[in-house]
Amino acid sequence: MTKADIVNEISKNTGIEKVTVQKTVEAFMDTVKGSLAKNKNVYLRGFGSFIVKQRAEKTARNISKNTTIIIPSHSIPAFKPSKTFTTKVKNNVK
């Protein structure tokens, strides 16, 4: 499902114009991205959490040049679904 599909589905279910739904979805995504960029997690009860995970420093190898490089520790965004979300998805798979 794409962002356009989500906008169409919300518009169809609520009767709100697609343009308004599009702006709302964009604003939601910008808010989540901005919050994660500030290292603040976003919690949506019954849906899940958008969190910032910390990756440790590690050594990687470039096989073609036979060299090693150090990848510094860094933050990455992640999503952790709620228990109800996970249960609903598990029960629908057959």
Q: Express each pLDDT in 39-54 by its tens digit.
A: 999 999 999 999 999 9
Residue 93 in this model has a pLDDT that exceeds 90: no
Beta partners for residue 77, in sequence order: 52
Q: Express each pLDDT in 8-19 by its tens digit.
A: 999 999 999 999
Confidence of residue 92 (pLDDT cuts 50, 70, 90): confident
Which DSSP state fits 72? P
- CA of 73: how far to CAs of 1, 20, 55, 56, 76, in Å? 33, 40, 5, 5, 10
Q: Express each pLDDT in 27-85 by its tens digit.
A: 999 999 999 999 999 999 999 999 999 999 999 998 888 899 999 999 999 999 999 99
Query: Domains in the chain, start-ordered, CATH in brackets?
Result: 3-92 (4.10.520.10)
